[in-house]
């Protein structure tokens, strides 16, 4: 009989442990709640908003500049559209754009970081110096410069952001990989004849997963903010599609009397960014503790 | 044995609460460390010896731990009934600990002398003793000499990275001796060191007990080390002491099936070359078996083993917690 | 005489010592010097030594993680490439000391064991089949396939490490202190498993350990290392009952034993003074002379040649020249592997 057959019951699974710790962390739970709320609201926007038709090209001059009320929860804007509805639809734009930027930046950044960290030598020199150069350029300025050359629209601007955003992930993954490279399980994989692709993406990458998750959550908040800043500066999507940054900009003309037109969309941006930040922090607490184990 | 014991642990029970489950880690631990004796607490990983040690030193984080029952008497006073401040006053002074891993227990950015003087400063403060810088410096040199360091002055000025493993371990022992403790608790001394260096360290500890009137409680999983240096042995399994007795007696005439199995597991330098392990594994502390916790793995378990055995006296100072202790002949 | 499976000849490894402002090379550390031994098919060979002995470095060179600075390694008669994983090297696998760090914490047991199988390009179904068979071979339940390392005990993890190494179908398994991190009751089971596997699969082992009692009960021949040199080697019985080198004797004398019978068998040597010198600062002549209780004049001058003491036993010590006649070629005999 092996030391195993009379086995103790299956231990508490990792998933359960993580859930347990996560659910007892107020920051994490609040952050997760906000994010889930916003994402669901964005997905089900047409069904949950009171005036979904206000998203289109519609004017309602009799209802212009109305303060928040039971009928128009966030009030109405300068052409009489319900701000609340437009905020919820505006979330769609913000989330979608952030998702696209990160969907480009994260895989690219992570792959470069893995290669630079594992192989070292020339790969490291080339990639990391490129990263250094890219990091020296402020994303916002880059976006403006790019749009000055190409058509000024939000898509181009966000591609410009993506073109610089990968650098943070490369740095992070590079330093993690460099440490992991000397670990015994990597040496074991080498001795066992694993291909380099396998070592990079099947051995090293899973160990970076928690760091990537934390960083990406935090990034969502930042990218949404940058997107809002760009649209505030005039690079928003084409009207009449609602866009949070644009709403803040147009509403700013009517401050301070009609504060709801600018401040409430602004608060909505704050709300979603806060949610992602708290979630990211909560995840970081969760995984940091785990790595101490 | 009991009244002159410096340290006396009686019926200690400790529970741990993790992920919503309650684990009964220590079920009934009793041990005594008389003055000027070298006592060993032996057990494998997961048996609860570290938890016992932390409970004695007052280092158990409660929660998630909870001391359910029992008493820990040091010099007659029950440590569990003391206030936190009084408990702290004892730690590092009358009762101090030598940690296991010299590599990670020393701060790499301070010299040995600095670290030791700092420890001494805070210990003095706890004891309400006044000592100036020179006094501390002298005491540090004195203690380094006590642990047989070749050049105390040079060592005090060195950084940990400049010292070898054996020297670092001696430094840890020196740190524990700074405030003239009466009880030294050594956690796996020499485990991280080479065999030849370990032998030196064990000899040093044993000599210190004799020379400095110390009591030494050594926590270890290495049976060979225990036989050669300890006076008295407590064998732990799954949160309880299963056998206790003088070292020579235990190794020659162990009566508890676990102790016998454990001794059989150690590879021998002469004689039999076969390997014998122990089947099965530790019980789930959240749902331990009723009665004897070793019963599920015991080769001679019988029906009555599902009731907790008390201690059977099998010798003047030798006890085993087993229903069949008297039948087991050496 | 049959050809040995593995032959190591005059193996040497030095590391540059860097220092100063720009990390210029200022000297070197000789981790391994002039080490030669052979391992026959299906044989268990031991390498014993303490820290700084070079045993892990030798293991890493045999397995291809580090390139030797000198000497040669021949496997099945052919020279091996200095490092990297080639086809030939696949037949040499390793089990590391610390089961906690040799398994990828983020991959399941099944995935870890499958690594060498996937590297060979087997189909999914075949991989699954073999993983199940390997788990069975190391006496772990099939349900462990989906568990993660941190859910396993030390002994169980080590079994997984063994299963993974076996998946590559090696002929030689290098065991680097495989049980040092385990409790003694678990250690016994793991060694038992290794012995069974060795027998049924015809595996050869290089067993590295500082635990001499363990060595005695597991290997057939053993070499003792001190600061990178093989100072004594031979059949295990000879070495333990008639050790010749003062270091071997001191090592045996310091092994903690648990019975009077064993204590009586140990050589009578005083406890060694001092510490093992740093490999960066090797003593002149015989590296052991600074701590040797029997050192005399030639010891500080020159490293002793190997002296043959018996059919399968040699030692490098000047003391032996006083009584024994030096024998030429004795060293080579040992290197060819024992005649069985």
Query: Concatenated DSSP letters for B59-123?
Result: ---TTTEEEEEEEEEETTEEGGGS-HHHHHHHBTTTEEEE-S-HHHHS-TTS-HHHHHHHHHHHH
Q: Is residue A220 within 8 Å of residue A39, measured between CB atoms?
A: no
Number of domains comprising chain C: 2
State whether the Cα torsion A204-A207-A213-A214 is positive or negative: negative
Question: Are the beta carbons of C139 and A2 separated by less than 8 Å?
Answer: yes
Alpha-carbon distance of C100 to C87, in angstroms, equals: 28
- Measured between CA atoms, the residue of chain B closest to residue A12 is B19
Beta strand spans in C76-164 (E): 78-79, 92-95
Q: What is the pLDDT of residue C20?
A: 67
The yes-or-no verdict on residue C325 having pLDDT over 70 is no
A116 vs A143: CA distance, rounded Å: 27
Taking any CB pair shorter than 8 Å as contact, residues of chain A touching chain C are: 2-5, 7, 10-11, 13-14, 183-185, 187-195, 198, 202-203, 206-207, 209, 293
Residues 86-115 of A with CB under 8 A from B: none
Size of interface B-C (CB pairs under 8 A): 126
Q: Do B277 and A3 touch (CB under 8 A)?
A: yes
Q: For position A116, what pLDDT does the model report? A: 95
- Nearest chain B Cα to C259, which residue? B251
Show the low-confidence residues of chain B (pLDDT under 70).
1-3, 328-330
Nearest in space to A13 (alpha carbons), one of B281, B22, C151: C151
Would you call B269 an interface residue with chain C, using a CB distance cutoff of 8 Å?
yes
Residue bearing the bigger pLDDT, C244 or C272: C244
Residue C201 and residue C78 share a domain? yes
3-state secondary structure of B26: strand
Q: Kindly list the partner chains of chain A, i.e. chains with 3 or more CB atom pairs below 8 Å.
A: B, C
pLDDT tens digits, A73-95: 888 888 888 889 899 999 998 99
Measured distance between the N- and C-terminal CA atoms of chain B, rounded to whole angstroms: 25
Q: In this structure, are C107 and C224 located in the same domain?
A: no
A18-292 topology per CATH: MetI-like fold (1.10.3720)
- Count of residues in chain A: 293
Is the pLDDT score of C82 beyond 80? no
Q: pLDDT exceeding 90 applies to what percent of chain C?
A: 45
Q: Closest Cα of chain A to B289: distance in Å?
A: 11
Q: Which of B178, B241, B198, B311 is nearest to B39 (CA)?
A: B241
Strands across the sheet containing C78-79 = C24-39, C6-19, C70-75, C78-79
**pLDDT score at C144:** 92
Question: C147 and C198 in one domain?
Answer: no
- What is the overall mean pLDDT for chain B? 88
B293: closest CA among B314, B307, B313, B312?
B307
CB contact under 8 A, A293 and C93: no
Structurally, how many domains does chain B consist of? 1
- Given this model, what pLDDT does residue B76 score? 84
Give me the residue spans of the domains in chain A.
18-292
Q: C232 and C222 in one domain?
A: yes
Note whether C276 contacts B278, CB cutoff 8 Å: no
Range of the domain at B146: 104-178
Lowest mean pLDDT among A220-234, C78-92, C163-177: C78-92
List b or e across A182-199, with b for residues whose CB sees 16 or more CB atoms inside 10 angstroms: ebbbbbbbbbbbbeeebb
Q: Is residue B303 part of a domain?
A: no
Q: Which long-range contacts (CB under 8 A, 24 or more apart) does A98-104 make?
A: A98/A219, A98/A220, A98/A223, A98/A224, A98/A227, A100/A158, A100/A162, A101/A158, A101/A161, A101/A162, A101/A165, A101/A223, A101/A227, A102/A162, A102/A165, A102/A216, A102/A219, A102/A220, A102/A223, A104/A159, A104/A162, A104/A166
Q: Quick one: C64 and C174 in the same domain?
A: yes
Q: Which of C301, C105, C95, C103 is nearest to C205 (CA)?
A: C95
Write the DSSP symbol of residue C278. Answer: P
- Identify the pLDDT of residue C85: 64
Percentage of the residues of chain A whose pLDDT score is greater than 70: 94
| Residue C114 covered by a domain | yes
Select the residue of C63, C115, C155 nearest A189 (Cβ to Cβ): C115
- Whether B164 maps to a domain, the answer reads yes
Q: Say what the pTM is.
A: 0.86
B 171-210 → A contacts, CB under 8 A: none
Q: CA-CA distance, B112 to B120, in Å (whole number)?
A: 12
- Tell me, yes or no, whether C192 and C61 share the same domain: yes
Query: Which chain A residue's Cα is nearest to B281?
Result: A3
Asked if C47 and C189 sit in the same domain, the reply is: yes
Predicted pLDDT at A10: 55
How far is the C-alpha of A64 from the C-alpha of B217, rounded, in Å? 83
Residue contact C188–B166, C-beta within 8 A = no
Q: Classify residue B143: in a domain, yes or no.
A: yes
Q: Which chain B residues touch A8 with a CB distance below 8 Å?
A: 281-284
Structural domain harbouring C300: 6-91+170-335
For residue A285, the model assigns a pLDDT of 85
Contacts of B250 in chain C (CB under 8 A): none
- Please check whether residue B252 lies inside any domain of the structure: no
- Residues of C whose CB is below 8 A from B252: 260
User: Does residue C163 form part of some domain?
Assistant: yes
Q: Which chains touch C (3 or more CB pairs under 8 A)?
A: A, B
Per-residue confidence (pLDDT) for residue C306, from 0 to 100: 84
B20 contacts A4? CB cut-off 8 A: no
CA pair distance B160, B164, nearest whole angstrom: 8
Q: Please tell me whether residues C132 and C273 are part of one structural domain.
A: no
- CATH of residue C241's domain is 3.40.50.300
* Predicted local confidence at residue B267, as pLDDT: 87
Of A5, A9, A12, the CB nearest to B19: A12
Query: Does residue C340 fall inside a structural domain?
Result: no
Number of CB atoms found within 10 A of residue B34's CB: 17
CB pair distance less than 8 Å for B269 and C262: yes
State both tokens at C39.
Answer: 């391992």
Is B157 within the bounds of a domain? yes
């Amino acid at each position: 009989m092996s030391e195993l057959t009379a086995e103790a019951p299956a231990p508490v699974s990792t998933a359960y442990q993580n859930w347990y710790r996560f659910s007892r962390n107020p920051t994490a739970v609040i952050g997760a709640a906000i994010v889930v709320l916003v994402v669901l609201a964005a997905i089900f926007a047409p069904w949950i908003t009171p005036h979904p038709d206000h998203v289109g090209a519609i004017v309602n001059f009799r209802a212009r500049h109305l303060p928040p009320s039971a009928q128009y929860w966030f009030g109405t804007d300068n052409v009489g559209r319900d701000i609340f509805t437009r905020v919820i639809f505006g979330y769609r734009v913000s989330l979608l754009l952030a998702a696209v930027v990160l969907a480009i930046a994260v895989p690219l950044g992570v792959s470069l970081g893995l290669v630079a960290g594992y192989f070292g030598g020339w790969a490291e020199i080339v990639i990391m110096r490129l990263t250094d150069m890219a990091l020296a350029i402020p994303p916002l300025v880059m976006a403006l410069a790019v749009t000055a050359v190409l058509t000024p629209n939000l898509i181009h601007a966000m591609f410009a952001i993506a073109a610089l955003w990968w650098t943070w992930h490369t740095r992070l993954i590079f330093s993690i990989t460099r440490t992991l490279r000397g670990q015994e399980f990597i040496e074991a994989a080498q001795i066992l004849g694993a291909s380099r692709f396998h070592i990079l993406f099947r051995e090293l990458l899973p160990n970076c997963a928690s760091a990537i998750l934390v960083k990406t959550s935090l990034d969502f908040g930042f990218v949404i903010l940058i997107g809002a800043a760009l649209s505030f500066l005039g690079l928003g999507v084409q009207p009449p599609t609602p866009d949070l940054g644009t709403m803040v900009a147009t509403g700013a003309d009517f401050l301070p009397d009609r504060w709801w037109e600018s401040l409430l969309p602004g608060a909505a941006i704050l709300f979603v960014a806060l949610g992602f930040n708290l979630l990211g922090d909560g995840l970081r607490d969760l995984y940091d503790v785990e790595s101490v184990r | 044995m009991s009244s002159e014991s410096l340290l006396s642990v009686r019926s200690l029970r400790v529970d741990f609460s993790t992920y919503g489950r309650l684990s009964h880690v220590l079920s009934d631990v009793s041990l005594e460390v008389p003055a000027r004796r070298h006592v060993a607490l032996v057990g494998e990983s997961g048996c609860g010896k570290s938890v016992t040690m932390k409970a004695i030193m007052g280092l158990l984080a409660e929660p998630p731990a909870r001391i359910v029952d029992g008493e820990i008497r040091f010099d007659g006073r029950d440590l569990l009934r003391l206030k936190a401040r009084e408990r702290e006053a004892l730690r590092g002074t009358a009762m101090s600990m030598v940690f296991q891993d010299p590599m990670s227990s020393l701060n790499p950015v301070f010299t040995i002398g600095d670290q030791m003087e700092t420890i001494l400063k805070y210990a003095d403060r706890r004891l309400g003793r006044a000592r100036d810088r020179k006094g501390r410096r002298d005491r540090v040199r004195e203690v380094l000499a006590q642990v047989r360091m070749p050049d105390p002055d040079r060592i005090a000025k060195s950084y940990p990275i400049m010292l070898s493993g054996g020297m670092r371990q001696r430094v840890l022992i020196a740190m524990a001796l700074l405030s003239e403790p009466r009880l030294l608790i050594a956690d796996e001394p020499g485990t991280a060191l080479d065999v030849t260096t370990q032998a030196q360290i064990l000899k040093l500890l044993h000599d210190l007990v004799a020379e400095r009137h110390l009591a030494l409680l050594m926590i270890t999983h290495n049976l060979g080390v225990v036989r050669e240096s300890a006076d008295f042995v407590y064998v732990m399994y799954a949160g309880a002491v299963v056998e206790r007795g003088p070292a020579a007696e235990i190794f020659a005439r162990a009566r508890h099936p676990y102790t016998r199995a454990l001794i059989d597991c150690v590879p021998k330098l002469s004689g039999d070359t076969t390997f014998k392990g122990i089947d099965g594994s530790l019980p789930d502390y959240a749902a331990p078996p009723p009665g004897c916790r070793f019963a599920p793995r015991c080769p001679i378990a019988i029906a009555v083993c599902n009731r907790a055995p008390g201690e059977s006296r099998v010798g003047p100072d030798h006890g085993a917690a087993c229903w069949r202790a008297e039948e087991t002949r050496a | 005489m049959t050809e040995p499976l593995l032959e190591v000849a005059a193996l040497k490894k030095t590391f540059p010592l860097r220092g100063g402002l720009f990390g210029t090379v200022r000297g070197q550390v000789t981790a391994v010097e002039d080490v030669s031994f052979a391992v026959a098919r299906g044989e268990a060979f031991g390498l014993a030594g303490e820290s700084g002995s070079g045993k892990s470095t030798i293991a890493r060179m045999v397995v291809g993680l580090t390139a030797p600075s000198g000497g040669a390694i021949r496997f099945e008669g052919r020279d091996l490439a200095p490092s990297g994983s080639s086809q030939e090297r696949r037949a040499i696998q390793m089990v590391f000391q610390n089961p906690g760090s040799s398994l990828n914490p983020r991959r399941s047991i099944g995935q870890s064991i499958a690594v060498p199988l996937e590297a060979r390009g087997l189909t999914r179904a075949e991989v699954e089949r073999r993983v199940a068979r390997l788990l069975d071979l190391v006496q772990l339940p099939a349900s462990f396939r989906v568990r993660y390392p941190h859910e396993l005990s030390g002994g169980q993890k080590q079994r997984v490490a063994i299963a993974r190494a076996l998946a590559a179908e090696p002929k030689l398994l290098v065991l680097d202190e495989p049980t040092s991190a385990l409790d003694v009751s678990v250690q016994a089971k793991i060694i038992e498993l290794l012995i069974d596997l060795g027998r049924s699969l015809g595996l050869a082992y290089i067993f590295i350990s500082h635990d001499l009692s363990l060595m005695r009960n597991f290997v057939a021949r053993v070499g003792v290392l001190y600061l990178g040199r093989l100072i004594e080697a031979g059949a295990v019985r000879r070495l333990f009952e008639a050790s010749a080198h003062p270091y071997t004797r001191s090592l045996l004398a310091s092994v903690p034993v648990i019975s009077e019978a064993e204590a009586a068998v140990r050589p009578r040597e005083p406890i060694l003074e001092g510490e093992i010198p740093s490999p960066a600062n090797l003593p002149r002549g015989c590296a052991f002379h600074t701590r040797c209780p029997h050192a005399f004049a030639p010891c500080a001058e020159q490293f002793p040649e190997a002296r043959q003491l018996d059919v399968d036993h040699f030692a490098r010590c000047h003391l032996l020249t006083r009584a024994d006649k030096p024998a030429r070629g004795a060293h080579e005999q040992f290197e060819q592997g024992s005649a069985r």
